[in-house]
């Protein structure tokens, strides 16, 4: 029988999820290599060699095992619908990792998963906390906003999963902070969810940044599950701060945006740049911040550390400024995030003007690799794909 002490239960969830993930991955890697279920390098990838991309399956096993063992569904019945939603996300992610799935089918599956937690789990936004003068929301507006938020957060983690450790590291940071907050205010069931994911992704992270034989990617399965679950927790975070808690967070919507600044701002920025250039927002390129930093530093781990360090500093700033009005805090967040994401571009352009970087190389990192037929371009692409820690 699981221990009844909340602290002990939460700690065991964290440890068990990490251990199960770590134990599962070597076997999954072996099977994936035998069955050729690997990620093959192409023009947009930043790795070389065929790497298994089923890390998300190991994470799913660990999370489901720990939640089924330690969560009291009678206290928070909505959690069981989170698991149903995760199963939907698992199937669509696995299919996309193994085969190629139509983007619209992928979106419909995400809407189905979101609808499960919204309508069966009764989880949706009821207020905007006074943002733009809006407090209580009509149910229909709350449902639509919740679906939108879940879809955006889910896919934003999928889009930043471009280098080793970034999506997992960012997710670990956010889920850990949310888990500590939920535990502090007495929401132990939500803390268990957050810490289960923290532990599972820590177990995965060690293999993801490794250069060993058991190196693995989380794939769409892992990134979609991470985004989906963090969206679930963020909605709870906002709703809980509408009522008195042991520790209330002011300007909860803006603080939520600050927690998720890396995936949300980078995704919005990239989509905007593509549209301004007359392209589809879904056209692949190298406009993500991690592409620029990877080019500058030549290391996945350094790039990942810089971005996660920025995320940590950003969260501390947001917590200090939480008593600003929501619109004021959002403006500060957008300005600082904009400056940070422009710095790598500015530095690369300066090196281009001074001749330290050939112009063709600058153009190459602005577009999809494979469009420059020159020998120099091919050599540069090879160097880019081989950038490792």
What is residue 362's predicted lDDT score, i.e. its pLDDT?
47
pLDDT, the chain, mean: 86
pLDDT for position 341:
86
Long-range pairs for 146-151: beta carbons < 8 A, 24 or more residues apart:
146/114, 146/118, 146/235, 147/111, 147/114, 147/115, 147/118, 149/125, 149/231, 149/234, 149/235, 150/110, 150/113, 150/114, 150/117, 150/118, 150/228, 150/231, 150/232, 150/235, 151/107, 151/110, 151/111, 151/114
Residue 37: its pLDDT value, please? Answer: 84
pLDDT more than 70, % of the chain:
86
Contact of 283 with 270, CB cutoff 8 Å:
no
Supply the pLDDT for residue 12.
95
Residue 313, both tokens = 């500093």
Check whether 5 has a pLDDT greater than 80.
Answer: yes
Residue 59 maps to a domain: yes
Given pLDDT bands bounded at 50, 70 and 90, which one contains residue 93? very high
Q: What is the pLDDT of residues 237-279, one digit of tens each?
A: 999 999 999 999 999 999 999 999 999 999 999 888 888 888 8
371: number of Cβ within 10 Å: 10
Instruction: List, for residues 327-346, the tens digit of each pLDDT value.
Output: 999 999 999 999 988 888 78
Tally the domains of the chain: 1
pLDDT of amino acid 278: 82
pLDDT at 350 over 80: no
Q: What is the pLDDT of residues 289-318, one digit of tens each?
A: 887 887 776 788 899 999 999 999 999 999
In a domain, 35, yes or no: yes
Could you read off the pLDDT of 95-124 as tens digits, one per residue?
A: 998 887 888 899 999 999 999 999 999 999
User: Does residue 383 lie in a domain region?
Assistant: no
pLDDT at 355: 57
- Answer yes or no: is 223 within a domain: yes
Dmax (CA) for the chain in angstroms is 67
Q: How far is CA 172 from CA 83, 86, 95, 233, in A?
A: 19, 18, 25, 13
Q: Is 350 part of a structural domain of the chain?
A: no
Residue-level pLDDT at 372: 38
Max mean pLDDT range (2-11, 276-285, 368-377):
2-11
Does the pLDDT at position 45 exceed 60?
A: no
* pLDDT tops 90 at residue 223: yes
Q: What is the mean pLDDT of residues 219-230?
A: 96
pLDDT at 366: 52
357 in any annotated domain:
no
For 3, the 3-state DSSP assignment is coil
pLDDT at 383: 33
For the whole model, what pTM was predicted?
0.87
Q: Among residues 150, 138, 70, which one has the least CA distance to residue 112?
A: 150
Q: Taking residues 202-228, what's their average pLDDT?
A: 94
CA triple 341-342-348, angle to 5 deg: 115
CB-based contacts of 29, cutoff 8 Å, min separation 6: 52, 207, 213, 214, 215, 216
Predicted local distance difference test score (pLDDT) of residue 44: 56
C-alpha 333/C-alpha 261 separation (Å) is: 8
Phi-psi sector, 152: left (phi>0), alpha (psi -120 to 50), beta: alpha
351 occurs within a structural domain = no
- Measured over the CA atoms of residue 380, residue 388, residue 59 and residue 66, the dihedral's sign is negative
Asked if pLDDT for residue 377 goes beyond 70, the answer is no
Nearby residues of 145 by Cβ (< 8 Å), 6 or more positions away: 124, 125, 137
Closest by CA position to 159, among listed 38, 310, 271, 306: 271
pLDDT score of 370 more than 70? no
Containing structural domain, residue 180: 9-345
Q: What number of other Cβ atoms are within 10 A of residue 356's Cβ?
A: 10
In this prediction, residues 178-195 reach a mean pLDDT of 96
SS3 355: coil
The pair phi, psi for residue 52, each rounded to 5°, is -55, 140
């Amino acid at each position: 029988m699981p221990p009844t002490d909340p602290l002990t239960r939460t700690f065991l969830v964290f440890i068990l999820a990490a251990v199960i993930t770590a134990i599962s991955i070597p076997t999954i890697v072996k099977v994936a290599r035998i069955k050729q279920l690997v990620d093959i390098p192409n023009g947009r990838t930043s790795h070389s060699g065929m790497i298994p991309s089923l890390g998300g399956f190991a994470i799913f096993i660990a999370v489901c095992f720990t939640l089924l063992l330690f969560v009291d569904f009678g206290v928070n019945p909505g959690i069981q619908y989170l698991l149903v939603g995760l199963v939907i996300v698992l199937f669509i992610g696995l299919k996309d990792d193994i085969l190629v799935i139509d983007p619209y089918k992928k979106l419909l599956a995400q809407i189905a998963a979101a609808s499960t937690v919204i309508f069966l789990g009764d989880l949706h936004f009821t207020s905007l906390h006074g943002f733009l003068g809006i407090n209580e929301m009509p149910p229909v507006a709350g449902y639509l906003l919740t679906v939108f938020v879940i879809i955006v957060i889910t896919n934003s983690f999928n889009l930043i999963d471009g280098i080793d450790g970034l999506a997992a590291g960012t997710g670990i940071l956010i889920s850990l902070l949310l888990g500590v907050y939920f535990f502090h205010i007495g929401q132990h069931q939500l803390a268990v969810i957050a810490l289960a994911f923290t532990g599972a992704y820590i177990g995965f992270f060690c293999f993801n940044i490794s250069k060993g034989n058991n190196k693995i990617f989380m794939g769409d399965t892992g990134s979609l599950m991470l985004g989906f679950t963090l969206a679930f927790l963020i909605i709870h975070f906002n709703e809980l701060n509408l009522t008195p808690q042991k520790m209330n967070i002011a300007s909860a919507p803006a603080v939520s945006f600050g927690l998720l600044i890396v995936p949300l701002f980078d995704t919005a920025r990239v989509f905007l740049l593509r549209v301004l250039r007359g392209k589809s927002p879904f056209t692949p390129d190298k406009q993500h911040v991690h592409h620029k930093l990877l080019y500058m530093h030549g290391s996945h781990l350094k790039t990942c550390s810089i971005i996660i360090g920025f995320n940590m500093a950003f969260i501390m700033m947001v917590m200090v400024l939480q008593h600003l009005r929501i619109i004021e805090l959002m403006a500060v967040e957008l300005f600082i995030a904009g400056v940070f994401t422009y710095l790598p571009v500015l530095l690369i352009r300066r090196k281009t003007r001074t001749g330290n970087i050939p112009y063709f190389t600058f153009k190459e990192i602005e577009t999809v690799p494979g469009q420059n037929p020159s020998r120099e371009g091919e050599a540069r692409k090879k160097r880019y794909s081989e950038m490792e820690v």
